[in-house]
Chains A and B, each alone.
Chain A
Amino acid sequence: MNIKSVYSEKSSVNEAVREIQKQLQDFDTKMLIYFASSNYDADLLSSALGAGFGSITIFGCSTAGEIISGKMLKNSIVAMAFDSQSIEDVKVEIVEYVKSDCDIDKAFNSFKEHFQISMAELDYNQYVGIILVDGLSGCEEKLMDRIGDKTNITFIGGSAGDDLKFTKTYVYANGKAYTDAALLVVIKPTSGFDIIKTQSFKALDKKLVATKVNTEAREIIEFDNIPAVQAYSEALGVAVEDAANYFMSNPVGLIYGDEIYVRSPQRIDGSNMIFYCNILEGMEVSILESTDIVNDTKQAIQAKLKELGKISGMIDFHCILRTLELEQKCQTEDYGKILTDIPAIGFSTYGEEYIGHINQTSTILVFK
């Protein structure tokens, strides 16, 4: 069994694809996952990689920064190749027009046909799902909700980025680039898999209940029956005018058991707060306080390595807000080094998917 991660920083699509191909010329690639800067032409890139690798399963998305073993990159393509011994089976489906209709039935029927068993019955120990979705579609919650209703297998992934331009993001499959779409992939890894979910926050003993919301706009109008930004500022003990300065270090989180599902504020609109993901009316959230991303991630990966004995590969769906914090603190090099000894790729996302849609988190798919 073998998994190999490769990358190219060539700015020309054709040169970058040739460099990726060259690094994999002696590798028996069965499946290739790639994440690429939005600075590459989406259609050209998808068709060049599709043509370059022939009939293998190949998919990916655009990013807001890339991750490869040992490094965090910009304006590059990172790719992970799996040989035929590492992947027993894989099926890719595209769900188009997700902004207007999050219908996953067609995709799930196709999975049923391929695997000869319904998604409701698929063994969650043997199969894992990857989801890559248009990061500007705003439909991740609905998609993850519907997926979770219909299957017990884990779908993990991220929302595609566009290097903070916020104009268009893409998912790639079948030699084509899709926007307003989600890519669902079901994989049966030969040696099994595991999940790491890590966010660098602790919950403070300060809670807010969303009492008036505009779900579609991911907007909180009132927490605790007072204007949202006022309630948030009072809970933190800061002036309303300064509230936005605390968004990165003090988002809010849904707490269940030991798990934190982070909801990150994006901006203030009047006295309302717009978030990067939904908080439903009646939900209680805790104010969070940031801890050390590098140290926490290192510990989470080391703990998993100790538990499993060996990790063959990792895919890190890494929130752009974590990348921005690492950049602010000049820690991107330190973060890249955490992944040095294991074949790894990842990208800076516009949101992470695991059970639901979450923020300021790394959801990591681990191949045993």
Chain B
Amino acid sequence: MAGKIKSIIDSIVNKRSNGNATIATLTKSKMVMKGINPEKYTSTSEDDPVVIEKLVVLAKELNVNI
């Protein structure tokens, strides 16, 4: 399976930013600092369970429900 990581990243960014482009960029930068680079993942990226688990934790830290 593929694409789940990008889908979760997009969900986190959209929910945290509410469509605000500045906050979206800021959120992506925060994700980079937390060890997930959003630019690395596309809709064809493999569903790596380790990365997905990291994203679940990251979403919780950012107070976002995914």
Interface residues of A (CB under 8 A from B): 120, 124, 141, 144-145, 148-150, 152, 254, 256-257, 259, 261, 280-284, 355-356
B29 an interface residue at 8 Å Cβ cutoff? Answer: yes
**A351–B15 Cα gap in the complex (Å)?**
31
Do residues A254 and B32 form an inter-chain contact, with CB atoms below 8 A?
yes
Contacts of A150 in B (CB 8 A): 63
A193 to B65, CA, bound (A): 32
Contact between chains at B35 and A355 (CB < 8 Å):
no
CB pair B33–A145 under 8 Å, yes or no, is yes
Q: Given known contacts A152-B26, A257-B39, is B33 in contact with A356 (CB within 8 Å)? A: yes
Q: Which residues of A contact B63 (CB under 8 A)?
A: 120, 149-150
Given contacts A149-B62, A152-B23, A152-B26, A282 and B35 within 8 Å (CB-CB)? yes
> Would A355 and B30 count as touching, CB distance under 8 A?
yes
Q: Is the CB–CB distance between B32 and A261 below 8 Å?
A: yes
Chain A neighbourhood of B23, CB < 8 A: 124, 152
CA distance A145 to B40 in the complex (A): 21
Instruction: State whether A280 touches B35 (Cβ < 8 A).
Output: yes
Query: With the chains together, A149 CA to B12 CA distance in Å?
Result: 12
A-B contact pairs, 6 of them (CB 8 A): A254-B37, A257-B39, A261-B32, A261-B33, A282-B35, A355-B29
- Distance, CA A256 to CA B25, complexed state (A): 10
Q: Choose among B26, B40, B61 the residue that contacts A355 (Cβ–Cβ < 8 A).
A: B26
A120 to B62 Cα, complex, angstroms: 10
Shortest distance in angstroms between B19's beta carbon and chain A's nearest beta carbon?
14
CB A139 to nearest CB in B, in angstroms, measures 15
| Chain A residue at minimal CB-CB distance from B38 | A256
On chain A, the residues within 8 Å of B39 by CB distance are 256-257
Within the complex, the shortest CB–CB distance from A64 to chain B, in Å, comes to: 24
Query: In the complex, what residue of chain A is closest to B32 when comparing beta carbons?
Result: A256
B61 near A149 with CB under 8 A, answer: yes
Nearest-CB residue, chain A, relative to B35: A280
Closest to B33 in A: A356
Answer yes or no: B28 CB below 8 A from chain A CBs: yes
B30, A256: Cβ atoms closer than 8 Å: no
Q: A152-B26, A256-B39, A257-B39 are in contact. Are A355 and B62 (CB under 8 A)?
A: no
- In the complex the two chains form, what is the Cα distance from A141 to B61 in whole Å? 14
Distance in angstroms from A318 CB to nearest chain B CB is 21
* Complex CA–CA separation, A259 to B29 (angstroms): 9
Whether the pair B29, A145 counts as a contact (CB closer than 8 A) is: no
**Cross-chain contact A148 with B30 (CB below 8 angstroms):** yes
A124's partner among B22, B32, B62 (CB-CB below 8 A) is B22
